[in-house]
Structure 1
């Protein structure tokens, strides 16, 4: 078992099955922290693009800089390519938010990516509001959506 040289997901082949799959949308890249996040997103059967696995988050307190995770490789990967969207799917933690903002600025300043988006964090299905923390409730209210028929 090793890391895919393109997306850094775990594989037992020269490149992972997702990077090999010619039916995937190559104009969209979803950035995740860990290979288990790829499995979680794939289980939804909604996302059909490619991935980039960071293997960590920026955490100055713990001595983890952007260069310590796979951000330089991400910038090299998208530079000069026709990438329409990069989706940042890091955790809604302090480190996840810091990593997302760093990636956004790096992509904006060093590449020509069409769009950079961030997954919405909110209230899980079946959860009760009285048990939600303030940050989760604030995010859910801030990014609320219209009800469509």
Structure 2
């Protein structure tokens, strides 16, 4: 017979895996620019490096803008991931190579996301992206 602690760990492990899958799906913007639309809460906001918030719909619209060409968007490392019964948090780094109106960018950006479980499914409820290049050694 499994203990409560074993069952709770299994649930958290499953929840962590679900959250990790959301992070990987988001990171794959060069393949799936509209991922956010079906994977966010109704009150989702993202805080851009400028400090200005943006909705999922507007962010996807930005990704689909012909002036923005995403060449690489890949997960480098998840630095921290925590999950509770109905909320979670993650901090991670993405490698992002893109051009906007012909200006090339090669970023190593840090992200933080807050997740909520809604009707048994994990959704992204909040996101913030750093600008520039992250020093990965600071995460140790």
TM > 0.5 between the two?
Answer: no
Tell me: higher relative CO, structure 1 or 2? Use CA pairs within 8 A at least 6 residues apart.
2
TM-score scaled by length of structure 2: 0.25
TM-score for the superposition, normalised by structure 1? 0.24
**Larger % of helix: which?**
1
**Bigger share in strand:** 2
